[in-house]
């Protein structure tokens, strides 16, 4: 026996070992030598296990300490990154491969949406239109805003003239005087015009309108026909009038420097005062770029704004009760087709079409200050009024009901839409 | 630039200030002769109950703030459907613009386009033309960034002289929001750019779904840089008037390029030269020639308070002069303020370090002695660019430019604290 029993008092054994020792002392000596040996083996085993456990505990404690250090390091590094502004924030990952989202665009879909036209004529569909046709189409679809001769109505864009004004105080920038590429006119008219009916012009109509605009700019004669074949041969008046952004050479070079902080000027005088919104005591008139008076200026009063709301609610309530609210709501949606030219409701003003408050029952062509067509003036003089029948006929086919009307709208195809929009208009009186 | 962000009040100055306050307490502190009934009497709101949580599922500002709204200038345009309105920047603070009062610019009116009806097409010089639904877009990795969006025509009415008497009107074609969206380059990669070959001379043409189908050409370099296809602003869906459900965000570049209701992205080998990049948004000079492709919005700033819509109403004493600065070239690094029309300048305190291509708020905490002021602010960005005076700009470009006016603005504040838009020598 190389190992004495005293080994059992090794502290590592703990209570269990003491219990085993006690058991050995009180054991019947006849129990046998083999039993003692077995117990000694057992003790050796337990001792070895205890030693291994203590070794493992020490190793784990060391690892824990090391991890604590590591955590402290990571935290310190993170704090440092936070301070220096570098954090765990990252841009969305760039795809090396693809995400496989979306679906293939179909040829017909691309054809429907990809209609832009480039300066070199790419994108132009086949077709043609002459000045004469263009004048007719323009009068019907464009003149209510742009004027019969492309001269512009009210604040709507002037499309013709303005040559040799680009260097003036108020340059007149028209298709003729300013636009560098003819493709821009064709592309814009075809895609975005007429205002409120975008996307309805055929290729031939567009060629014709563009031909007419060139004619109204005195750039072609009245025999001219524009087509996809002669399109790119046409050179615009101002094709060389543009330079690419050169601010970096002309401006940044001299404005990137430490600015003056003290005594930068000898004296400072007021040379001009704003004239809008406030009544400016003196010198305001000269600063007026636009021909507006102080009466045109916006007001800031919140009280006035809420008063207006209150009025509109009062005025509307009684009339709304007389019509079907659901129909009125549908009508409001249909009216979107009219909104480019007509206003209705509290404070509605004439636009390129007259305001439509209290329309039903009103004499045709009765809004003072609106320039009606001869047809409307005649109807007015005859004393004709807008009732539901007249309104329905007019909205079905405006030009059939009122031959010579300036209204370019083609009419509402759907009877329900007509009934709805009339109900909507009724909700504003009449 | 670090010291700009530190408190400018030293301990010594604090002690000096306290001494002055003690000495001036009799004259400087208002005395009340009668107890304030708002304090001594029981008020309704302190006794009765207020409204419940089911009152307003989506809240609007309290009625006392009813004048903090967008406004337009009727005579500017022919119709409000093709027009612009202005952010009430005189009444806002901080940098984020609430969506409900952020300026709108439409060419054919704001449209209602649902997420279900939304489609985005990528075509042109790509390996595989694609169509995405709204749901597809939300499955790409996305990013959040704060950027300003400024209309190229902001301050455009001021070229020829001091015109509009309110910072809302002179500088309100701007807003600043936190956008959530997918980088445009991610979508371009999805369609594949091998078909485009050499990318340096390629363009991306972007187009809206509304009736104006506003279209702009963007150089490929910018498209692959920081452009976002965004669907959220300030944490919530875009508003209808800002392009719901999806708009383009083109950081630092003029607002017209931030195509709303974006429906198509086409890779092309030349600029399309659309209406909005030739006849509009180009800068005409005195000799009649024009500058095109002027996309970047240069560094600019303005004092928002005091200003014509925000007069000084409290009389002499402590006054906070505050304003906004921004640059399409990067971060704002410094803003100087002058009270004498540009003779002397003081460096203002920046509210916090500005984000790149986003609004930065500045403050000058000062004592007003009641004498008239000619207030100006002057921004500097990280490229060292210094915001020019009106005269410097006119010398370069004349007065007919309309667009890209980033001049130093002057407010004349009189002894009553009323401010007016003026020009100075």
Instruction: Answer yes or no: are the C-beta atoms of A5 and A27 closer than 8 Å.
Output: no
- For chain A, how many structural domains are there in total? 3
How far apart are the C-alpha atoms of B424 and B372, rounded to whole Å?
14
Residue A12 has pLDDT above 80, yes or no: no
Query: B332 and B392, same structural domain?
Result: yes
Reported as a single tens digit per residue, the pLDDT across B168-215 is 999 999 999 999 999 999 999 999 999 999 999 999 999 999 999 999
Domain end: A233, A265, A298, which one?
A233
User: Looking at beta carbons, which residues of chain B come within 8 Å of A242?
Assistant: 278, 282, 289-292
User: Looking at beta carbons, which residues of chain A come within 8 Å of B121?
Assistant: 105, 109-110, 113-114
Does a structural domain hold residue B28? no
Please, is A117 exposed, middle or buried when counting C-beta atoms within 10 Å of its C-beta (0-12, 13-18, 19+)?
buried
Does a structural domain hold residue B62? no
> Under the phi-then-psi rule, with left for phi > 0, alpha for psi from -120 to 50, and beta for the rest, what region is B266?
beta
Long-range contacts of A310-313 (CB under 8 A, 24+ apart): A311/A346, A312/A345, A312/A346, A312/A347
Query: B192 and B311, same structural domain?
Result: no
Does a structural domain hold residue A124? yes
CATH number at residue B321: 2.60.40.650
Domain end: B292, B316, B341, which one?
B292
CB distance A110–B121 less than 8 Å? yes
Does a structural domain hold residue B39? no
Residue A248 has pLDDT above 80, yes or no: yes
User: Looking at beta carbons, which residues of chain A come within 8 Å of B278?
Assistant: 179-181, 184, 242
Concatenated DSSP letters of B394-415 = HHHH-S---S---PPPEEEE-T
Does a structural domain hold residue A278? no
Residue in B264, B412, B423 closest to A113 by CB: B264
Query: B306 and B288, same structural domain?
Result: no
Query: B271 and B309, same structural domain?
Result: no
Instruction: Look at residue B18 in the predicted model and tell me its pLDDT.
Output: 45
The model's pTM: 0.75
Does a structural domain hold residue A123? yes
Query: B378 and B345, same structural domain?
Result: yes
CB distance A104–B75 less than 8 Å? no
First CA to last CA across chain A, in angstroms?
123
Structural domain boundaries enclosing A342:
325-427
Query: A222 and A135, same structural domain?
Result: yes
Highest mean pLDDT among A5-9, A39-43, B285-289: B285-289
A2-16, A57-71, B264-278, B394-408: segment of lowest average pLDDT: A2-16
Domain end: B242, B273, B292, which one?
B292
User: Which residue of B lies nearest to A157 if distances are taken between CA atoms?
Assistant: B78
Q: How far is CA A7 from the centre of its chain?
A: 86
Query: A75 and A150, same structural domain?
Result: no
Residue B60's closest CA among B68, B52, B72, B49?
Answer: B68
- For chain B, how many structural domains are there in total? 2
Does a structural domain hold residue A286? no
Query: Regarding predicted confidence, which is higher, B29 or A275?
Result: B29
Instruction: Look at residue A130 in the predicted model and tell me its pLDDT.
Output: 97
Instruction: Look at residue B25 in the predicted model and tell me its pLDDT.
Output: 45
CB distance A119–B164 less than 8 Å? no
CB distance A287–B72 less than 8 Å? no
Query: A421 and A333, same structural domain?
Result: yes
Highest mean pLDDT among A14-28, A325-339, B77-91: B77-91
First CA to last CA across chain B, in angstroms?
30
User: Which residue of A lies nearest to B228 if distances are taken between CA atoms?
Assistant: A92
Alpha carbons within 13 A on the beta-carbon side of B298:
24
Residue A75 has pLDDT above 70, yes or no: yes
User: Which residue of B lies nearest to A198 if distances are taken between CA atoms?
Assistant: B211
Mean pLDDT of A73-90: 73
Residue A208 has pLDDT above 70, yes or no: yes
Q: Mean pLDDT score of chain A, rounded to an integer?
A: 80
How far apart are the C-alpha atoms of B162 and A286, rounded to whole Å?
10
Query: B76 and B215, same structural domain?
Result: yes
Query: Regarding predicted confidence, which is higher, A153 or B274?
Result: B274
**What value of ipTM does the predicted structure carry?**
0.89
Reported as a single tens digit per residue, the pLDDT across B86-144 is 999 999 999 999 999 999 999 999 999 999 999 999 999 999 999 999 999 999 999 99
Residue A374 has pLDDT above 90, yes or no: no
Does a structural domain hold residue B415? yes
A342-346, B177-181, B419-423: segment of lowest average pLDDT: A342-346
Does a structural domain hold residue A142? yes
Query: B144 and B249, same structural domain?
Result: yes
Mean pLDDT of A35-44: 86
Asked if residue A194 has a cis previous peptide bond (ω within 30° of 0), the answer is yes
CB distance B275–A245 less than 8 Å? no
Instruction: Look at residue A277 in the predicted model and tell me its pLDDT.
Output: 44
Does a structural domain hold residue A276? no
Does a structural domain hold residue B6? no
Query: B116 and B247, same structural domain?
Result: yes
Query: A225 and A142, same structural domain?
Result: yes
Instruction: Look at residue A204 in the predicted model and tell me its pLDDT.
Output: 98
Does a structural domain hold residue A423? yes
Q: Number of A:B CB contacts under 8 A?
A: 302
Please, is B418 exposed, middle or buried when counting C-beta atoms within 10 Å of its C-beta (0-12, 13-18, 19+)?
middle
Instruction: Look at residue A384 in the predicted model and tell me its pLDDT.
Output: 86
Does a structural domain hold residue B138? yes
Instruction: Look at residue A284 in the predicted model and tell me its pLDDT.
Output: 26
How far apart are the C-alpha atoms of A184 and A187, rounded to whole Å?
5
Percentage of chain B lying above the pLDDT 90 cut: 83
User: Which residue of B lies nearest to A118 if distances are taken between CA atoms?
Assistant: B272
CB distance A99–B342 less than 8 Å? no
How far apart are the C-alpha atoms of A395 and A407, rounded to whole Å?
11
Provide the shortest C-alpha distance from residue A67 to chain B (in Å).
34
Instruction: Look at residue A31 in the predicted model and tell me its pLDDT.
Output: 61
Percentage of chain B lying above the pLDDT 70 cut: 93
Reported as a single tens digit per residue, the pLDDT across A149-163 is 999 988 899 999 999
CB distance A92–B211 less than 8 Å? no
> Under the phi-then-psi rule, with left for phi > 0, alpha for psi from -120 to 50, and beta for the rest, what region is A147?
left
User: Looking at beta carbons, which residues of chain A come within 8 Å of B166?
Assistant: 277, 300
Instruction: Look at residue B185 in the predicted model and tell me its pLDDT.
Output: 96
Query: B104 and B217, same structural domain?
Result: yes
Mean pLDDT of B53-61: 93
Three-state SS at A313: helix
A74-88, B78-92, B160-174: segment of lowest average pLDDT: A74-88
CB distance B140–A274 less than 8 Å? no
**Where does the pLDDT of residue A16 fall: very low under 50, low under 70, confident under 90, or very high at 90 and above?**
very low
Asked if residue A390 has a cis previous peptide bond (ω within 30° of 0), the answer is no
A250-254, B189-193, B278-282, B350-354: segment of lowest average pLDDT: B350-354
User: Looking at beta carbons, which residues of chain A come within 8 Å of B107?
Assistant: 192
CATH number at residue B123: 3.90.420.10
Query: A73 and A127, same structural domain?
Result: no
Instruction: Look at residue A323 in the predicted model and tell me its pLDDT.
Output: 61
- Report chain B's C-alpha Rg in angstroms: 24
Does a structural domain hold residue A105? no
User: Looking at beta carbons, which residues of chain A come within 8 Å of B392?
Assistant: 255
Query: A223 and A150, same structural domain?
Result: yes
Reported as a single tens digit per residue, the pLDDT across A377-402 is 888 888 888 888 888 888 988 888 88
Mean pLDDT of B141-157: 96
User: Which residue of B lies nearest to A173 if distances are taken between CA atoms?
Assistant: B279
* A132 sits in which H/E element: helix A131-141
Domain end: B272, B292, B312, which one?
B292
Residue A386's closest CA among A410, A409, A358, A352?
Answer: A358
Mutation choice for A interface testing from B106, B222, B272 by most A CBs within 10 A: B272
Instruction: Answer yes or no: are the C-beta atoms of B299 and B326 closer than 8 Å.
Output: yes
State the residue for tokens 């077995």.
Answer: A38
Residue B310's closest CA among B318, B322, B301?
Answer: B322
Q: Which residues pair with B247 in a beta bridge?
A: B230
Does a structural domain hold residue B8? no
Instruction: Look at residue A401 in the predicted model and tell me its pLDDT.
Output: 86
Instruction: Look at residue B49 in the predicted model and tell me its pLDDT.
Output: 94
Query: A229 and A116, same structural domain?
Result: yes
Query: Regarding predicted confidence, which is higher, B352 or B131?
Result: B131
Residue B386's closest CA among B358, B407, B360, B411?
Answer: B407
State the residue for tokens 């046709």.
Answer: A133
Q: Mean pLDDT score of chain B, rounded to an integer?
A: 92
Query: B415 and B276, same structural domain?
Result: no
CB distance A110–B213 less than 8 Å? no
Highest mean pLDDT among A73-77, A158-162, A418-422: A158-162
The DSSP secondary-structure symbol of A345 reads S
Provide the shortest C-alpha distance from residue B57 to chain A (in Å).
22
Mean pLDDT of B312-336: 97
Does a structural domain hold residue B42? no
A6-10, A385-389, B86-90, B254-258: segment of lowest average pLDDT: A6-10
Structural domain boundaries enclosing B180:
71-292
Number of neighbours of residue B345 by Cβ within 10 angstroms:
20
Query: B247 and B309, same structural domain?
Result: no
Residue B307 has pLDDT above 50, yes or no: yes
Please enumerate in sequence order all residues whose Cβ is within 8 A of that of B395, keeping only pairs 6 or more positions apart, or say none: none
Query: A219 and A150, same structural domain?
Result: yes
Query: B334 and B391, same structural domain?
Result: yes
Domain end: A189, A205, A233, which one?
A233
Instruction: Answer yes or no: are the C-beta atoms of A134 and A209 closer than 8 Å.
Output: yes
CATH number at residue A229: 1.10.760.10
């Amino acid at each position: 026996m190389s190992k004495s029993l005293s080994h059992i008092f090794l502290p590592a054994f703990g209570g269990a070992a003491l219990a085993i020792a006690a058991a050995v002392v009180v054991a019947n000596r006849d129990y046998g030598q083999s039993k003692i040996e077995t117990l000694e083996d057992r003790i050796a085993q337990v001792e070895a296990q205890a030693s291994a456990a203590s070794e493992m505990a020490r190793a784990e404690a060391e690892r824990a300490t090391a991890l604590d250090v590591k955590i402290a390091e990571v935290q310190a590094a993170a704090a440092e990154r936070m301070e220096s502004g570098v954090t765990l924030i990252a841009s969305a990952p760039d795809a090396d491969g693809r995400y496989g989202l979306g679906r293939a665009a179909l040829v017909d879909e691309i054809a429907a949406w990809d209609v832009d036209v480039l300066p070199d004529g790419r994108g132009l569909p086949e077709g043609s239109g002459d000045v004469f046709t263009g004048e007719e189409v323009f009068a019907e679809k464009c003149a209510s805003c742009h004027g019969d001769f492309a001269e512009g109505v009210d604040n709507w864009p002037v499309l013709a003239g303005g040559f040799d004004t680009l260097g003036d105080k108020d340059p007149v920038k028209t298709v003729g005087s300013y636009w560098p590429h003819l493709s821009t006119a064709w592309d814009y008219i075809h895609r975005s015009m007429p205002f409120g009916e975008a996307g309805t012009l055929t290729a031939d109509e567009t060629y014709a309108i563009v031909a007419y605009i060139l004619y109204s700019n005195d750039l072609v004669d009245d025999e001219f026909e524009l087509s996809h074949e002669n399109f790119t041969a046409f050179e615009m008046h101002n094709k060389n009038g543009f330079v690419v952004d050169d601010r970096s050479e002309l401006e940044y070079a001299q404005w990137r420097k430490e600015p003056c902080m003290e005594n930068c000027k000898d004296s400072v005088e007021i040379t001009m005062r704003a004239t809008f919104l406030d009544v400016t005591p003196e010198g305001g008139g000269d600063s007026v770029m636009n021909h507006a008076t102080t009466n045109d200026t916006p007001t800031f009063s919140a009280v006035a704004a809420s008063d207006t709301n209150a009025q509109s609610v009062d005025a509307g309530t009684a009339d709304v009760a007389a019509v079907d609210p659901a129909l009125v709501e549908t009508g409001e949606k249909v009216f979107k087709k009219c909104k480019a030219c007509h206003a209705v409701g509290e404070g509605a003003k004439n636009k390129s079409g007259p305001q439509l408050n209290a329309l039903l029952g009103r004499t045709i062509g009765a809004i003072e200050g609106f320039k009606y067509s001869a047809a409307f003036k005649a109807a007015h003089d005859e004393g004709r009024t807008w009732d539901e029948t007249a309104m329905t006929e007019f909205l079905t086919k405006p030009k059939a009901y009122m031959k010579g009307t300036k209204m370019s709208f083609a009419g509402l195809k759907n009877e329900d839409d007509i009934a709805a929009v009339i109900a909507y208009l009724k909700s504003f009186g009449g | 630039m670090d010291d700009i962000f530190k408190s400018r009040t030293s301990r010594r100055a604090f002690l000096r200030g306290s001494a002055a306050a003690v000495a001036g307490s009799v004259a400087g502190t208002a005395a009340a002769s009668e107890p304030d009934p708002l304090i001594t009497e029981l008020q309704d709101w302190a006794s009765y109950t207020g409204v419940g949580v089911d009152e307003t599922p989506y809240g609007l500002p309290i009625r006392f703030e009813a004048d903090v709204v967008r406004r337009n200038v009727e005579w500017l345009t022919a119709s409000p459907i093709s027009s612009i309105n202005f952010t009430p920047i005189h009444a806002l603070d901080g940098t984020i613009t609430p969506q409900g009062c952020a300026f709108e610019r439409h060419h054919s009116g704001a449209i209602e386009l649902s997420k279900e009806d939304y489609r985005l097409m990528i075509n042109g010089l790509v390996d595989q033309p694609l169509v995405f639904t709204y749901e597809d877009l939300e499955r790409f990795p996305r990013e959040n960034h704060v950027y300003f969006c400024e209309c190229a025509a902001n301050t455009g009415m001021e070229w020829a002289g001091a015109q509009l008497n309110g910072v809302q009107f002179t500088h309100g074609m701007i807003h600043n929001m936190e956008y959530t969206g997918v980088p445009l380059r991610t979508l371009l990669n999805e369609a594949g750019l091998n078909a485009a070959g050499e990318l340096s001379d390629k363009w991306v043409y972007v187009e809206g779904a509304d009736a104006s189908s506003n279209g702009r050409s963007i150089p490929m370099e910018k498209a692959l840089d920081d452009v976002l296809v965004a669907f959220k602003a300030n944490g919530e869906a875009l508003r209808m008037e800002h392009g719901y459900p999806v708009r383009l965000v083109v950081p630092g570049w003029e607002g017209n390029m931030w195509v709303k209701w974006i429906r198509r992205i086409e890779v092309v080998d030349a600029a399309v030269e659309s209406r909005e990049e030739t006849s509009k948004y180009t800068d005409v000079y005195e000799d009649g020639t024009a500058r095109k492709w002027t996309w970047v919005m240069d560094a600019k700033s303005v004092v928002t308070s005091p200003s014509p819509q925000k007069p000084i109403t409290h009389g002499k004493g402590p006054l906070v002069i505050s304003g906004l600065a921004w640059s399409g070239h990067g971060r704002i690094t410094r803003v100087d303020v002058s009270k004498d029309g540009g003779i002397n300048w003081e460096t203002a305190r920046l509210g916090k370090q500005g984000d790149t291509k986003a609004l930065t708020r500045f403050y000058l905490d000062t004592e007003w002695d009641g004498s008239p002021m000619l207030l100006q602010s002057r921004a500097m960005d990280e490229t060292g660019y210094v915001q020019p005076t009106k005269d410097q700009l006119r010398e370069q470009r004349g007065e007919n430019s309309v667009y890209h006016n980033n001049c130093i603005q002057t407010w004349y504040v009189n002894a009553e604290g009323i401010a007016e838009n003026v020009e100075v020598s």
